[in-house]
Amino acid sequence: MTVPELVPAPIRLTRTDGGWSLPERLSVAVDPALSAARPLLVDLLGVRLGRELVPVAAAGASDIALRHTEELAPEHYRLRVDGSVLIESSGPDGARHALRTLQQIVGPAAFRALPIRDAPVVLPGVVVEDGPRFGHRGVLLDVARHFMPKDGVLRFIDLISAHKLNVLHLHLTDDQGWRIQIRAYPRLTEVGAWRAESQIGSSRSSRYDATPHGGFYTQDDLREIVAFARTRGVTVVPEIDMPGHSQAAMVAYPELAALPEQAATWPVWTRWGLNPHVLGTSDRVLDFYRTVLDEVLDLFDSPLICLGGDEVPVDEWTADPDSVRRAEELGMTGVEELLPWFIGRLADHLRTRGRRATAWDEVGGSRLPTDVAINSWRGYRGGIDALRDGHDVVVCPEHEVYLDHRAAPGLDEPAPVGTVHTLEDVYRFEPVTDQVAEAAAEPGAGTVLGAQAQLWSEQLDSPRRVDYAAFPRLAAFAEVVWSPREARDWPGFDRRLRGAHLDRLDAAGVEYRPLAGPHPWQRRPDVPGWPLRFDELGRLVHAEDGAG
């Protein structure tokens, strides 16, 4: 029997003699400290592999044991297979990672919903000792530009957890739709969750689809998503984007807008791109969002709550006498300082409720409370500055890990936008560049929490399109954020992917991008893209012909 080909690669894997044919009936001992890992154990062994599971006392002999040990760091695990399975960890997260490793060792059959034949499940003898490089291993899913029905979100959570990713950043609100039910303000979803049609292709396109689009999650849907994610070791970080990217909210409640009379005439936005409209900066607007956040905190258990703060043009604040007065009263040099101030006041509110704000890197500056974590998306620069200012940082640069951007040059990629991030590019992404490391080493600097891949959904209008954009690049990203930096090995990853991991994705029903390029039915020749590339001086240019 060969050595299992794991993705992401573990710290250490040792093949031992022998193997074990998994009996039909398994005695299972779970230490009470690890009982939160039981739902995943039952899903893997009881449902997917169809074994009868017989609970036995944690102290006794058993076929499958989850044993608690204080010896191992958070999320680390030890897995031994040799005539039984022994999993050791200091908490349920480590035990879940061990179960995910066991799932890969079993093979593709363990990625199907049910057993499909009576073939014996034979496990090789192994010892795996493993743990993550970063604590924050995230993926952003934009359910605002295109709504993803709840079952798609649950499936996506299970898939990212199988790759040992542990944060789902759920982008719940934007100009094009508001997707979270808020009891205090029902129009946010009655009005804000629906738009008349959608732009076809990039923000440059002049075509629209004449098809209404929308949807939202009820509070019970979100409770279910959060509870399911917990069983998979995934924390759902909700994002309520403000004070830009808020047209859907302003259409529902025009009084929120910096220019309310104009807002009363807007539709929920039907196009993509940078929106000029912004929220007002009055106490009434802040109070509205405090109430929204109180309901968000009721639903989500994440310590981090994202307040957005990206792409906020200030022209409407300049045109709004109240915002100008506010800036003057606060001794600001210009209305642009209202951005970190606005995010800071809501960060204060989160702090009083025991949570912490995170925001995109535009909000940095002296008016931003230091405990706000920063998502460095406009390259590494915002993250480096934020680290020096004492903020913790999640590294998520657009030109490295925006997975909605095309996976190859040329004319074949569906709706090609952004710069090319091939599978190998994503595999070679390094969150902690020398400059990031230098900034993080300065006295008083913040910490690099980890990294995050983004799936913006302007061009990803269905779970099938999300599958195509996400996989297998997300498997490469998972290895970047999980495996030791010195273990990075592109030929090795490529071999494991081709030899084992794509078979797992196939069994799970993932419509990933084939390594040779899209299947004919995955192309979108009718959809105009907006491919970008760098010239020889490193300047970003648009490749009009789509040839990249």
The residues that touch ligand ACM, with contacts defined as CB under 6 A, are 310-311, 360, 377
Tally of CA atoms within 13 A in the half-sphere of 182 that contains its CB: 26
CB of 360 to ligand ACM, least distance (A): 5
**Nearer to ligand ACM by C-beta: 235 or 454?**
454
Alpha-carbon span 75 to 52, nearest angstrom:
28
Strands 167-171 and 530-534: unpaired
CB of 416 to ligand ACM, least distance (A): 17
Report yes or no: 292 and 182 within 8 Å, Cβ to Cβ.
Answer: yes
Degrees, nearest 5: CA angle 8-9-13: 140
**Nearer to ligand ACM by C-beta: 186 or 276?**
276
Alpha-carbon span 30 to 311, nearest angstrom:
48
3-state helix, strand, coil in the chain (%, to 5): 35, 20, 45
**Nearer to ligand ACM by C-beta: 317 or 402?**
402
Tokens of residue 374, six digits? 């920063």
Report yes or no: 386 and 374 within 8 Å, Cβ to Cβ.
Answer: yes
CB of 15 to ligand ACM, least distance (A): 44
CB of 140 to ligand ACM, least distance (A): 8
Report yes or no: 79 and 66 within 8 Å, Cβ to Cβ.
Answer: no
Alpha-carbon span 424 to 475, nearest angstrom:
11
Name the residue with the smallest CB distance to ligand ACM.
310
Taking alpha carbons only, the member of 24, 208, 6, 225 closest to residue 98 is 6
CB of 120 to ligand ACM, least distance (A): 49
**Nearer to ligand ACM by C-beta: 290 or 378?**
378
**Residues listed for the chain:** 548
| 537: CB partners within 8 A, 6+ apart | none
**Nearer to ligand ACM by C-beta: 377 or 471?**
377
Alpha-carbon span 182 to 219, nearest angstrom:
8
**Nearer to ligand ACM by C-beta: 348 or 398?**
398
CB of 418 to ligand ACM, least distance (A): 10
Strands, DSSP E only, in 440-488?
A: 448-455
CB of 51 to ligand ACM, least distance (A): 44
Mind giving me the DSSP string for 285-345? HHHHHHHHHHHHHHH---SEEEEE--S---HHHHT-HHHHHHHHHTT-SSGGGHHHHHHHH
CB of 515 to ligand ACM, least distance (A): 27
**Nearer to ligand ACM by C-beta: 289 or 360?**
360
Tokens of residue 179, six digits? 């997707």
**Nearer to ligand ACM by C-beta: 88 or 310?**
310
**Nearer to ligand ACM by C-beta: 377 or 477?**
377
Alpha-carbon span 448 to 545, nearest angstrom:
39
**Nearer to ligand ACM by C-beta: 10 or 383?**
383
CB of 363 to ligand ACM, least distance (A): 11
CB of 231 to ligand ACM, least distance (A): 29
**Nearer to ligand ACM by C-beta: 78 or 473?**
473
CA 303 to chain centroid, in Å, comes to 15
Taking alpha carbons only, the member of 104, 105, 76, 108 closest to residue 90 is 76
CB of 309 to ligand ACM, least distance (A): 9
Taking alpha carbons only, the member of 363, 319, 365, 357 closest to residue 339 is 363
β-pair partners for 357: 305
CB of 402 to ligand ACM, least distance (A): 7
Report yes or no: 378 and 398 within 8 Å, Cβ to Cβ.
Answer: yes
Tokens of residue 217, six digits? 């999650």
**Nearer to ligand ACM by C-beta: 112 or 378?**
378
Taking alpha carbons only, the member of 228, 226, 174, 181 closest to residue 39 is 228
Report yes or no: 238 and 170 within 8 Å, Cβ to Cβ.
Answer: yes
